[in-house]
Amino acid sequence: MITLCGIPLSNYYNKVKLALLEKGIPFSEAYVKTHSHDDAVLSCSPLGKVPFIRTPQGALCESQVIVDYLEAAYPDTPRLIPADPFQAAKVRELITYVDLHLELVARELYAEAFFGGQVSDGTKKRVARVLPENIAAFRRLARFGPYLAGDTFTMADCAGWVSLPLVGMATKIIYGEDLLQAGGVDWKPYAKLIGERPHAQKVAADRKADQERSLAANRAQA
């Protein structure tokens, strides 16, 4: 059986978890904090990043590598990638834009937006310069018909649902304006649509429970 390792607060952990649930693949979960220096973790994820999975064949890290593996290793479960090679590539194109050109850029704001830290003015200015251009490019690709790639739920939605809200919320907190919505990407109806899926509700409930656990632990230490 597959073991999904990481933390339910991680959007990339939840990207993989949603894919596992949607495909109906049996799995267990193991709580592993990110950036662990434990040799057992580094043997699976050399940078100590989460998520990673343990399989009977060995470990795999990086969320997109993992979901691509799941799609290839479990072809008899519901498909999250179209059979047509070009359409499959278009789905992966969307994932690249969500993960690398939107979320990874906005991630530089998270320390201040969500975790009580501080982000330099230089970082804020750089993100404010780069992100609107990337959002405009993403808008040209995303179909929202009603799903990111069209009329069918795909792997792109596993990425989009967990990350687009973070981009919108982080920019709203830091700049006073949701840069996604300002750029013409109305992500809230889309997030609501995906959030109504039973497996997305499961992911959201587990994420909320972990968030409450973390807050309780922080209060106990204060």
- Given a contact cutoff of 8 angstroms between Cβ atoms, the answer to whether 207 and 9 are in contact is yes
Q: Both tokens of residue 209?
A: 């429970």
Q: Which residue has the tokens 């933390």?
A: 7
- Given a contact cutoff of 8 angstroms between Cβ atoms, the answer to whether 155 and 95 are in contact is yes
- The predicted structure's pLDDT at residue 216: 79
User: In angstroms, how far is the first alpha carbon of the chain from the final one?
Assistant: 39
- The predicted structure's pLDDT at residue 63: 98
- The predicted structure's pLDDT at residue 222: 63
Q: Both tokens of residue 208?
A: 């909320």
Determine the Cα–Cα distance for residues 196 and 157; give it in Å rounded to an integer: 13
For the chain, 222 residues long, the average pLDDT of each consecutive 10-residue run is: 97 98 98 94 97 98 98 97 98 98 98 96 98 98 98 98 98 98 98 98 96 80 68
- The predicted structure's pLDDT at residue 215: 79
- The predicted structure's pLDDT at residue 213: 86
Domains of the chain and any CATH numbers: 2-73 (3.40.30.10), 85-219 (1.20.1050.10)
Q: What pTM, to 2 d.p., does this model score?
A: 0.96
